[in-house]
Structure 1
Amino acid sequence: MAAGASRVFVSHLSGVPVFDPNGDQVGRVRDLVAMLRVGGRPPRLLGFVVEVVSRRRIFLPMTRVTGIDSGQVITTGVVNMRRFEQRPTERLVLGEFLDRRVRLVETDEEVTILDVAIQQLPARRDWEIVKYFVRKGRGGALRRKGETLTVDWSAVSGFSLEEHGQGAESLVATFERLRPTDVANALHHLSPKRRAEVAAALDDDRLADVLEELPEDDQVEILGKLKEERAADVLEAMDPDDAADLLSELPEEDKERLLMLMRPDDAADVRRLMSYEERTAGGLMTTEPIVLRPDATVADALARVRRSDLSPALAAQVYVCRPPDETPTGKYLGAVHFQRLLRDPPFTLVSSIVDSDLVPLTPDTPLSVVTSYLAAYNLVSVPVVDESGSLLGAVTVDDVLDHLLPEDWRETDFHGEEWVAHGG
């Protein structure tokens, strides 16, 4: 973008790729850093918060940005890989400006900031905040009432005060394209106050997916700030094994109160998982694998595998059992792998192609044996049965990895370099 040629609205920059001069991707934009200034000067844009491949968040100064164009940011060849740490004088534009309620200087009318425009100064590399896109009244970005208008930065006041009860609709809107693990990473780097506001704005299913990707301390903090009825709804939306892990971190009194608020069937699954030792097949398993009756066809199995809410590991195979279909099932007969389903005609009964040679695990099987089993047979999921031969659930490889990696792996970088050269 030519210097001073046009304005850029920051909502369009969330998640865009950052490239080095050779066209190699360095990472993605997760926020922008600005500094409020005195003396009637507009806020200065200091740089970008960029999430690199290792999921580390680094600071990319505007002095190292050579272009913002066509949904991408171009940087110089050397990037400082030191982790970004926000300073007291700095403000995160996406995290702290969007949804903030301020006042129009001229009329003292309250408005909500929906977007922020930045612009490069002529003949300089400095960038400043020049415009705010606002909505009159107290409505956020997702509310249709209220006039919207674009005003100069100097036309609003209220940034010097800490705001209580700040909305989160506009920030949540920027998360729509992100995977749950990326949203979780964004939440982890917000202040506790802002984290609670964003969590309150996410719907139950989305928040459940995000909670599953957060460190335990963040999970407990967010759940504790939700109303109990909503906390129970979110726990119901989580995978039972993840809900059980989270509840296990709570005091006994809080745990029982939330379980009583959950639907009886969901609470029963979670209670059953909590009865097993943590580092065993029973403690690792999910109670919601794909279960089919013997008279189901390949077409039926493929229809179940196609469900978008299934993880790849759970969709890799189906388990054939006698009724009832929900865990604990009737007698477990065997598994059919996804590749086998693709090779047989749609009308084929799954009972005729079932793999019954692999011995299922018992719920007290230790983690080390589960890991060896998955590795030895090149599996991504393994069935768990009780003494009577009923299917209790399945352990997936991602659940095993969660317990093999260090406890703080979600907060740990994959690489330790302080400086990495991208294209020289």
Structure 2
Amino acid sequence: MATMTRVFVARLAGLSVFDPLGDRVGRVRDVVLAFPATRRRPRVLGLVVEVAGRRRVFVPITRVTNMDAGQVVTTGLVNMRRFEQRPTETLALAEVLDRGVQVQEAGQEAYEATVEDILMEPERGREWAVTKVYVRKGVPSQGGGLRRITGRRGETRLVDVADVTGLHLSASGQGAARLLESYDDSRPADLAEVIHELTPQRRVEVATSLDDDKLADVMEELPADDQIEILASLDVERAADVLEAMEPDDAADLLSELPQDRQEELLQLMEPGEAAPLRRLLTYDDESAGGLMTTEPIILGPEATIAEALATVRQEDVAPALATVVCVCRPPLETPTGRYLGIVHIQRLLREPPHSPVGSILDKELEPLDPEDTLGTVTRVLANYNQVCMPVVDADGHLLGAVSVDDVLDHILPEDWREERHEESDEVIRG
């Protein structure tokens, strides 16, 4: 225990966790605290560790034998039951850092501050407690940054936890910079899971701290109730901007959950070119090819070369499923297009000379979907022809969009599939 005397919580974020044999178990994502009414110092219950499969599990602090600048070492096996926060527990990174508090040091005037970090130290046995709080004078203002209270702007202090009031009390306007820093390397779906598990107030605070593009990516991965909750918390102009940044089919699905007058208000604030595809999507049944499709497939003219097509599908912002096919059409090359000619599969692109035109290698035998085709029909077509993406064409031969397998899975899985948790028989004991 000699090497484990003082640990700042923020420095644990992302550290690798190893078992006694030196095998990597996962990485630290948060620290679980409890604020007992009978004592001044918050207890450290354990660590939230992300293991293989992006599963977050709980490791009791009594099973941690070493924590230093580079790693965390535990004793024995890690219980793989998924971590679920209890009402009496507080997450240090997710809920405490960036929180506004009151500080009253002995012999000094009280001041408001923002929590930058917290220091934990071992007590008896292998138990730990929060002993100090690293604060920055000033509290977050509505426009971001700090509102000056006293002393030099942004002055920092390491104060005793007993001198801090409001450490475990949620307050409006709390920032989320520290939490988001610890998830910089996460995919939108993983960050969405973290946000979903927060309290409603904290969920909104964290989500709205993201920039528009990142928030749009995360919104696409959240359950509908969370999407509506977050969208309602935004001012109407920003809500319209986020909808513009979302994939058209996801944005249309979200709009369809809103009252008609709210839909129209947001559509009116969007750029006409961004609103028009959403208006078209909203005219289709949710479980039809038209309702499932995105209006932004990859589209090229027949004279485009193989090299151009490959450069297009390699673009980072193109979804993997959409990148499997190139739709070839007469101009204009935006949906709804001129006459649809056929598709080219990415594997065929890889086998042809780079200078050849895509119009010379069209697959014309694969019949496109009709916008009125049902979900069942779409699913059978994808399965029968081993496709992950299919074009949607109207009766006049205009390309309207494309349906990808991820759009179909979203509709054939149970409505609460994003919220399902694997249940294991083992119990996690912490308290």
TM-score (norm 1): 0.89
Q: Tell me which residue corresponds to 1:318.
A: 326
* 1:164 and 2:180 correspond: no
Structure 1 residues 345 and 116, CA, compared in 2 at 3 Å: closer, same or farther?
farther
State the one-letter code of the partner of 2:86.
Q
Following superposition, the deviation at residue 100 of structure 1 comes to 0.8
Contact conserved, 1:168 with 1:198, CA < 8 A, in 2? yes
Following superposition, the deviation at residue 351 of structure 1 comes to 1.2
Following superposition, the deviation at residue 36 of structure 1 comes to 2.2
State the one-letter code of the partner of 1:43.
P
Contact conserved, 2:330 with 2:341, CA < 8 A, in 1? yes
Structure 1 residues 22 and 29, CA, compared in 2 at 3 Å: closer, same or farther?
same
1:76 and 1:68 map into 2 onto residues whose CA distance is 16
> 372-381 vs 124-133, which deviates more?
124-133
SS in 2 for 1:77: coil
Q: Which runs of 5+ in 2 are unaligned?
A: 147-152
Show the 5 A alignment for 1:99-248. 99-106=98-105, 107=108, 108-121=110-123, 124-139=125-140, 143=145, 146-159=154-167, 161-248=169-256
Following superposition, the deviation at residue 184 of structure 1 comes to 0.9
Contact conserved, 2:3 with 2:66, CA < 8 A, in 1? no
Contact conserved, 1:58 with 1:82, CA < 8 A, in 2? yes
Contact conserved, 1:82 with 1:419, CA < 8 A, in 2? no
Question: CA offsets per residue over residues 17-73 of structure 1, 9 Å max, x none?
Answer: 555556666555432211224676432210123455566654332123344453455
Structure 1 residues 10 and 334, CA, compared in 2 at 3 Å: closer, same or farther?
farther
Structure 1 residues 303 and 165, CA, compared in 2 at 3 Å: closer, same or farther?
same
Following superposition, the deviation at residue 78 of structure 1 comes to 4.9
Question: CA offsets per residue over residues 321-341 of structure 1, 9 Å max, x none?
Answer: 110111111111122222222
Q: Tell me which residue corresponds to 1:419.
A: 426
* 1:86 and 2:86 correspond: yes
Q: Which runs of 5+ in 1 are unaligned?
A: none
State the one-letter code of the partner of 1:307.
Q
RMSD between aligned residues: 2.6
Structure 1 residues 16 and 293, CA, compared in 2 at 3 Å: closer, same or farther?
farther
Contact conserved, 1:30 with 1:186, CA < 8 A, in 2? no
1:409 and 1:52 map into 2 onto residues whose CA distance is 21
Structure 2 residue corresponding to 1:263, chosen from 255, 262, 271: 271
Following superposition, the deviation at residue 257 of structure 1 comes to 1.3
Structure 2 residue corresponding to 1:277, chosen from 281, 285, 292: 285
State the one-letter code of the partner of 1:94.
L
2:2 and 2:19 map into 1 onto residues whose CA distance is 19
State the one-letter code of the partner of 2:32.
V
> 338-347 vs 297-306, which deviates more?
338-347
Structure 1 residue corresponding to 2:398, chosen from 375, 390, 394: 390
> 352-361 vs 319-328, which deviates more?
352-361
Structure 1 residues 83 and 134, CA, compared in 2 at 3 Å: closer, same or farther?
closer
Show the 5 A alignment for 1:335-354. 335-354=343-362
Question: CA offsets per residue over residues 101-127 of structure 1, 9 Å max, x none?
Answer: 123322423221122233334x73112
Q: How many residues align?
A: 416
Structure 1 residues 177 and 116, CA, compared in 2 at 3 Å: closer, same or farther?
farther
1:81 and 1:19 map into 2 onto residues whose CA distance is 18
Contact conserved, 2:15 with 2:72, CA < 8 A, in 1? yes
Following superposition, the deviation at residue 153 of structure 1 comes to 3.2
Contact conserved, 1:199 with 1:222, CA < 8 A, in 2? yes
State the one-letter code of the partner of 1:132.
V
State the one-letter code of the partner of 1:130.
T
Question: CA offsets per residue over residues 299-347 of structure 1, 9 Å max, x none?
Answer: 2112211221121111222111110111111111122222222222322
Structure 1 residues 360 and 162, CA, compared in 2 at 3 Å: closer, same or farther?
closer
Structure 1 residues 301 and 118, CA, compared in 2 at 3 Å: closer, same or farther?
farther
Contact conserved, 1:4 with 1:120, CA < 8 A, in 2? no
SS in 1 for 2:336: coil
State the one-letter code of the partner of 2:395.
E
Question: CA offsets per residue over residues 220-274 of structure 1, 9 Å max, x none?
Answer: 1111111111111111110010011111111112112111111112111111111
State the one-letter code of the partner of 2:138.
G
Question: CA offsets per residue over residues 278-306 of structure 1, 9 Å max, x none?
Answer: 11111111001111111111221122112
* 1:400 and 2:408 correspond: yes
1:28 and 1:395 map into 2 onto residues whose CA distance is 37
Q: Tell me which residue corresponds to 2:150.
A: none
> 368-377 vs 186-195, which deviates more?
368-377
Contact conserved, 1:68 with 1:74, CA < 8 A, in 2? no
> 41-50 vs 324-333, which deviates more?
41-50
Following superposition, the deviation at residue 9 of structure 1 comes to 3.0
State the one-letter code of the partner of 2:98.
D
Contact conserved, 2:64 with 2:72, CA < 8 A, in 1? no
Following superposition, the deviation at residue 83 of structure 1 comes to 5.0
Q: Tell me which residue corresponds to 1:34.
A: 33
2:228 and 2:196 map into 1 onto residues whose CA distance is 12
> 48-57 vs 248-257, which deviates more?
48-57
SS in 2 for 1:116: strand
State the one-letter code of the partner of 2:325.
Q
Following superposition, the deviation at residue 155 of structure 1 comes to 4.8
1:149 and 1:331 map into 2 onto residues whose CA distance is 68
SS in 1 for 2:244: helix
Q: Tell me which residue corresponds to 2:76.
A: 76
Contact conserved, 2:18 with 2:71, CA < 8 A, in 1? no
Q: Tell me which residue corresponds to 1:367.
A: 375
The structure with higher relative contact order (CA 8 Å, sep 6+) is: 1
Q: Tell me which residue corresponds to 2:59.
A: 60
2:5 and 2:355 map into 1 onto residues whose CA distance is 60
1:40 and 1:322 map into 2 onto residues whose CA distance is 74
Contact conserved, 2:6 with 2:121, CA < 8 A, in 1? yes
Following superposition, the deviation at residue 398 of structure 1 comes to 0.7
SS in 2 for 1:79: coil
1:363 and 1:51 map into 2 onto residues whose CA distance is 42
